[in-house]
Structure 1
Amino acid sequence: MIKEFKDFALKGNVIDLAVGVIIGGAFGKIVTSLVNDVLMPIIGLLLGGINFTDLKYVITPAVGDIPESAILYGSFIQSIVDFLIISFCIFFFVKIISVKKKQEPVAPAQPPAEVVLLEEIRDLLKAK
């Protein structure tokens, strides 16, 4: 059982998946920063100076030391924008990679010398 697990864990697919998850996490942080620090302020400015992180529905206001209870729907909107941008970027990169793979010409495999010789003999026999 340990040998089977070792074979599974050291397969190329599992290692590729692990690398993909790590890179995806780092990519997610970059896109989150892009959305939070660049895009959302611009979108907020276009919509009249709205800061989406401040949008909330207060259920119970703060009383003394007890903090308010609120639904932070602005953060939810920001998370949706994060998701849409990340999914678009991943779609775009996969599309680019798949186009590059299709463009690479694949040279036809040359038949073995014996097959070429037999084809020549066949053609000579047909000609007679």
Structure 2
Amino acid sequence: MGMLQEFKTFAMRGNVIDLAVGVVIGGAFGKIVTSLVDQIVMPPIGWVTGGIDFSDLKWVLREADNSNPAHKIPEVAVQYGAFINTIIQFLIIAFAIFVVVKLINRVTRHKEAVAAPAADVVLLTEIRDLLKEQQGKS
């Protein structure tokens, strides 16, 4: 089998396509969460904390020097405010994924419980049928 044919077989598997769809949806979901954090969650938090915009918080290690236009020196800073925003985004995404997985597990368990009787129920049913069979022979 040629390499192209093997690749086609690999790429057309259901789980690879599902993974690709999940990555695309995850990327879009990440943008939604970023917007939620930056434009909805953080402004009220900034308002409560006295107008602080977390994305602007930083620890400046070296100030920018623009005195010489031919040789500009950029600012060097640790932007911990952006890091705080990213942590909040991560927590929201993690919680959303937790809720989705929990719901999927609940639906899956419910379907399994309805679809297949428990092993002890099957065993007891077989014993009952054997006892009825024995009584019918006597």
TM normalised by structure 2 equals 0.75
2:115 maps to a residue whose letter is V
The match for 2:125 is: none
**Aligned equivalent of 1:73:** 80
2:114 pairs with 1:127: no
Aligned residue number for residue 97 of structure 2:
90
Give the C-alpha shift of residue 126 in structure 1.
Answer: 4.9
Of the structure 1 ranges 98-107 and 87-96, higher mean CA displacement relative to structure 2 is found in 98-107
Separation of aligned partners in 2, 1:69 and 1:54: 14
For normalisation by structure 1, the TM-score amounts to 0.80
- Contiguous gaps of at least 5 residues in structure 2: 67-71, 118-128
Aligned residue in 1 for 2:115: 106
CA distance in structure 1 between the partners assigned to 2:19 and 2:87 by the alignment:
25
Offset, 1:7: 1.5
* Most deviating of 42-51 and 85-94: 42-51
Q: For residue 60 of structure 2, give the secondary structure of its aligned residue in structure 1.
A: strand
Superposition deviation, residue 106 in structure 1: 0.8
Report the equivalent of 1:48. 50
Would the alpha carbon gap of residues 53 and 125 (structure 1) be closer, same or farther in structure 2, given more than 3 Å must change? closer
Structure 1 residue runs of 4 or more that deviate by more than 3 Å after TM superposition: none
1:47 offset after TM fit, Å?
2.1
- Residue 107 of structure 1 and its aligned partner are, at CA, apart by 5.4
Deviations 1:25-83 (A, max 9, x none): 00010011000000011122222221101101111112224332211111011111111
Q: Distance in 2 between matches of 1:125 and 1:58?
A: 90
Q: Which amino acid aligns with 1:77?
A: I
Give how far 1:2 is off. Answer: 3.0
> Percent identity at matched positions?
54
Q: Per-residue deviation at 1:16?
A: 0.3
Shift of 1:124: 6.8
